[in-house]
Copies of this chain bind each other. A is one copy, B any other.
Amino acid sequence: MGSSSAAPWKQLLLSSIQANSHLKHYSYFQLATVASNGRPSNRTVVFRGFQDDGDKILINTDNRSRKIDELKHCPFAEICWYFTESWEQFRINGSVDVIDGTNPDPVKLEQREKSWFACSPKSRLQYMAPTPRLPSLSELPSEIPSMDPSIGPVAAFCLLILDPAQIDYLNLKSNERLIFTSGLSSDGKKLWTSEKVNP
């Protein structure tokens, strides 16, 4: 068991990303939330990197999707990220900050805008599509919309920022498992402890 102020699991995760980066799906993971009826929800989302140089994880989503209501009801989520090439699993749980265009914090709105412009013009278009999960009314493919690439985030664009509290790392090749847990140091800084546990 050791402790550290830098996130010791982050280097492990960056190595896994590197080892699996030749696979198209390497950046996909599953995000579990809890619905207002107390039941679990689970869906695949795309890793959009870390916030600045920290350990908070960025995810883009549609403000009209069910996960938004779920996260407003229960702000906790668990990522399960399985790397198919290296046989490694990261279970990352923490609280999620939901940042849409109505957020009162200018710093957060700036981060949302930064994430919007980091998206490809093609992926920005999906936020102009009809409301997810509503009945599909047309048999015909809808008109392909176009968007001025200089236009800022549209109303449906929402940024999620997951602040990790615990990481459960499992390596199925070496059969090793590590649990990383965050706490606070005496001066109020995030401090990580790690422990080797049975797989």
Residues of A within 8 A of B (CB): 23-25, 28, 30-34, 38-44, 74, 76-80, 82, 84, 89, 91, 93, 129-136, 177, 179, 195-199
Contacts and interface: CB of A to CB of B under 8 A. Distances in A.
Contacts of A40: 32-34, 40-41, 74, 76-78, 93
Given A39-B76, A91-B43, A82 B197 contact: no
Nearest to A44: B82
Nearest to A74: B38
15 contacts: A25-B82, A28-B84, A34-B34, A34-B40, A39-B74, A40-B77, A41-B78, A42-B80, A129-B198, A131-B198, A132-B177, A133-B177, A133-B198, A136-B197, A136-B198
One complex includes copies of this chain to the number of 2
Chain A interface helix/strand/loop/mixed: strand
A78 B66 CA distance: 14
Given A23-B84, A32-B32, A39 B78 contact: yes
- The residue among A43, A91, A93, A131 with the most chain B CB atoms within 10 A of its own CB is A43
A82 B179 CA distance: 26
